[in-house]
């Protein structure tokens, strides 16, 4: 593998370019008109513009991306996360153009991208499930499924992710409207109309397991990440190891996740996401068939380069030996948004100075003077702190957030520090409701 097109933008594009440089692989960056000032364009071996600013015209434009790959004689495409990363059709087009798609095979993107299909596949491997339904096609089938599952239920689009379209329903009178809303969002956001129901778990822990498979019936895990700190189903803070849960239990569940993926014949990288109830029961949530935004947390505690492992698996390398986990890592997502309203904040970054600190890693696709536009995700940077103790990692992260100088847009740094310094977070008492409780204390 000699040259890779990085079919993405921002922090993940820069992250892929860095690893490729270390591996001696040339990179081709692509960029929209809005991203013309991005720092990674000069760091790539080559860079090509995509006409327009809207995602559909640029980073979602399959024909334009493939044309770049052919014109620059690349031999592979790395989709990063978001955009086309889990698009089975795009992956197949990459392969049909005699290029290597750096990710799971298209059949896994399709199977795991449909949440109903993913539930069925993992259930067949004996993975624990909370009560749920097949796809519901009308109000009658939804009502029958909800009665069988028991209220409250979560209504979800069967495609897509990121919490989009999910609706909590606590009584039958609101079910039909929720199904209609979820279906409409599924169509507009993911071009999929499928909707299904799951048992709604009150204040769960969101625990995910990092998996690597070789497609030959072998898989390993790289331990777990706790992603419970969320607001409106969007992750804000992730860490590893997960606090307050028995390490031997987590090791067993991680091994179970790897075993299930090995049995399926899964290839390349994946993240098996689960929920833990307050009583300690675990159930499958979804499978993400790409590198995660929070992959740096796992890299910090294992010493692995997950992008390098993705590339290696795509070119036929074997699985690595499972590494030891060392220390603690905590990541915060710094967004260009108002901490109170969560509305995006746009403008020119008149000041943008990421901190340089021992034990702290910053991933960003921005530099001072660049414009934060409304066209893409509002994430400015990911700050990952590592330490020999959880307390040390949290402390380093708090200092880094305080030292991160940003002017020209609003950020959620104040909210992030408030969460990190809260009594519940410091004690490891985290669940998906922690941010709402803190916001309610104002």
Cβ-based neighbours of 152, under 8 Å, separated by 6 or more: 168, 169, 170, 199, 200, 202
Residues 269 and 416 occupy one common structural domain: yes
- On whether residue 121 sits in a domain, the answer given is no
**Residue ending a domain, choose from 169, 199, 229:** 199
Annotated catalytic residue within 14, 225, 231, 290: 290
> Distance (Å, rounded) from C-alpha 195 to C-alpha 222?
32
Q: What is the CATH number of the domain that holds 344?
A: 3.30.470.20
Domain residues for 53? 3-102
> Distance (Å, rounded) from C-alpha 63 to C-alpha 90?
9
Residue 291 in tokens = 């590198």
> Distance (Å, rounded) from C-alpha 77 to C-alpha 283?
34
Count how many domains the chain has.
3
- Mapped onto helix, strand or coil, the DSSP state of residue 181 is helix
pTM metric for this prediction: 0.95
Looking at residue 339, what is its pLDDT?
A: 75
> Distance (Å, rounded) from C-alpha 140 to C-alpha 161?
25
Residues 221 and 157 occupy one common structural domain: no
Beta-strand relationship, 371-372 and 328-335? unpaired
CA-to-CA separations, 418 to 114, 232, 277, 352, 399, in angstroms, rounded: 36, 17, 25, 21, 12
Q: Are 30 and 80 in contact (CB under 8 A)?
A: no
Q: Are 131 and 198 in contact (CB under 8 A)?
A: yes
Residues 315 and 237 occupy one common structural domain: yes
- On whether residue 57 sits in a domain, the answer given is yes
> Distance (Å, rounded) from C-alpha 120 to C-alpha 107?
15
Residues 217 and 193 occupy one common structural domain: no
Residue 403 in tokens = 């030292």
Residues 390 and 422 occupy one common structural domain: yes
Which parts of the chain sit beneath pLDDT 50? none
Q: Is 15 a catalytic residue?
A: no
Residue 177 in tokens = 């409207």
Looking at residue 358, what is its pLDDT?
A: 97
**Eight-class DSSP state of 200:** P
Looking at residue 120, what is its pLDDT?
A: 95
Looking at residue 162, what is its pLDDT?
A: 66
Q: Give pLDDT tens digits for 268-315.
A: 999 999 999 999 999 999 999 999 999 999 999 999 999 999 999 999
> Distance (Å, rounded) from C-alpha 287 to C-alpha 383?
24
- On whether residue 114 sits in a domain, the answer given is no
Residues 176 and 314 occupy one common structural domain: no
Residues 328 and 188 occupy one common structural domain: no
What is the biggest distance separating any 2 CA atoms in the chain, rounded to whole angstroms?
A: 60
Residues 183 and 294 occupy one common structural domain: no
């Amino acid at each position: 593998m000699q040259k890779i097109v990085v079919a993405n933008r921002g922090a993940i594009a820069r992250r892929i370019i860095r690893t490729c440089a270390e591996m001696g692989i040339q990179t081709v960056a692509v960029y929209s008109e809005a991203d013309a000032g991005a720092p990674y364009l000069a760091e790539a071996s080559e860079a090509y513009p995509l006409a327009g600013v809207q995602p559909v015209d640029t980073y979602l434009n399959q024909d334009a991306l493939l044309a770049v790959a052919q014109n620059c004689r690349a031999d592979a495409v790395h989709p990063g996360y978001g955009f086309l990363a889990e698009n089975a059709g795009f992956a197949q087009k990459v392969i049909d153009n005699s290029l290597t798609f750096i990710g799971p095979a298209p059949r896994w993107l399709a199977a795991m991208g449909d949440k109903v299909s993913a539930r069925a596949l993992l259930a067949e491997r004996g993975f624990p499930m909370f009560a749920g339904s097949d796809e519901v096609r009308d109000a009658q089938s939804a009502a029958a499924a909800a009665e069988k599952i028991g209220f409250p239920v979560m209504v979800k689009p069967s495609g897509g992710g990121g919490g989009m379209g999910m609706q909590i329903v606590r009584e039958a009178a609101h079910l039909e409207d929720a199904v209609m809303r979820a279906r409409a969002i599924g169509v507009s956001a993911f071009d999929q109309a499928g909707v299904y129901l799951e048992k709604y778990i009150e204040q769960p822990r969101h625990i995910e397991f990092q998996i690597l498979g070789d497609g030959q019936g072998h898989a390993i895990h790289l331990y777990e990440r706790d992603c419970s700190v969320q607001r409106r189903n969007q992750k804000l803070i992730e860490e590893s190891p997960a606090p307050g849960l028995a390490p031997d239990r987590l090791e067993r569940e991680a091994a179970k996740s790897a075993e299930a993926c090995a049995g399926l014949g899964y290839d390349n990288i994946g993240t098996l996401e689960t929920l833990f109830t307050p009583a300690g029961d675990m159930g499958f949530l979804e499978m993400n068939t790409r590198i995660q935004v929070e992959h740096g947390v796992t890299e910090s505690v294992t010493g692995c380069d997950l992008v390098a492992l993705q590339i290696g698996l795509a070119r036929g390398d074997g699985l690595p030996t499972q590494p030891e986990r060392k220390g603690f890592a905590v990541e915060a997502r710094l967004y260009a948004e108002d901490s109170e309203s969560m509305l995006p904040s746009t403008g020119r970054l008149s000041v943008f100075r990421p901190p340089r600190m021992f034990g702290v890693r910053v991933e960003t696709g921005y530099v001072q003077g660049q414009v934060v536009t409304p066209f893409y995700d509002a994430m400015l940077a990911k700050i990952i702190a590592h330490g020999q103790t959880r307390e040390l990692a949290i402390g380093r992260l708090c200092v880094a957030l305080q030292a991160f100088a940003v002017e020209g847009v609003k950020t959620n740094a104040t909210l992030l520090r408030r969460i990190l310094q809260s009594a519940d977070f410091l004690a490891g008492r985290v669940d998906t409701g922690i941010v709402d409780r803190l916001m309610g204390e104002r």
